[in-house]
Structure 1
Amino acid sequence: MTEPRRRERLRPLELVTFAALVAVAVGAITLMATRDPILSLIFFGATFVIDLVVIAMLMLAVTPNKQMDGEIRPDAENHPHQ
């Protein structure tokens, strides 16, 4: 079995970081609009959790190695009748 590449190991960290950045933006906007830090923290937490769930669901919908319709496999070029 091969070791996962660095990109594959860091992928979850990238997704969590993206969710955190979106949540920080929503929290900052809420803080600037309402001047209420408690409400801002609530919006930050809710946005972070919702973003994580949405990103996880989108990642489940993607099949990374699925062959596209009409795509020719590299080994099919040499053996067209198999």
Structure 2
Amino acid sequence: MSGQSPTPSWRDKMRPVELLVMAAVFGVFVGAFVFMGTREWGLALIMAAVAFIASLVILATLLIAVGPKIGGDERVDPVDPAAPSGSAGSVHRDPRTDPHGH
């Protein structure tokens, strides 16, 4: 226990840049699409900014939903934290053999 966290890899460091680039590409695409339809730069820039921000929020939300990958042994049953990993949990247990006596 040295107290130092492992240094992130180059791929982990570049992940935020990848998200910004994907959101920027989507914003440019929407801006170009709106400009070709309306021929107004102001509206195209506004729509590009809205698309950039919306795609950035959606991508960040999806990353939070996916979360980090947890190994099979580290999984915790929300119904019964004392249940062994990979089991069905306390919902499918026989109440007569419950070790907690509930």
Q: What band does the TM-score fall into relative to the shorter chain?
A: 0.7 to 0.9
Q: Percent identity?
A: 38
The residue that corresponds to 2:63 in the other structure is 59
Give the TM-score of the pair, scaled to structure 2.
0.64
Q: Does 1:26 align with 2:6?
A: no
> Gapped runs of 5+ residues in structure 2?
74-102
Query: What's the CA shift for 1:5?
Result: 0.1
RMSD (Å) for aligned C-alpha atoms: 1.2
Q: Secondary structure at the match of 2:12?
A: helix
The answer for the alignment partner of 1:40 in structure 2 is 44
The SS at the match of 1:45 is: helix
Indicate which of 4, 7, 10 corresponds to 1:3.
7
Larger radius of gyration: 2
TM-score with structure 1 setting the length: 0.78
Counting matched residue pairs gives 69
Distance 2:20 2:67 in 1: 20
Tell me which of the two structures has the higher relative contact order, counting C-alpha pairs closer than 8 angstroms and 6 or more residues apart. Answer: 1
Deviations 1:21-40 (A, max 9, x none): 00000000100110000000
Aligned to 2:89: none
Partners of 1:49 and 1:20 in 2: how far apart? Answer: 9
Structure 1 consecutive aligned stretches of length 4 or more whose deviation exceeds 3 Å: none
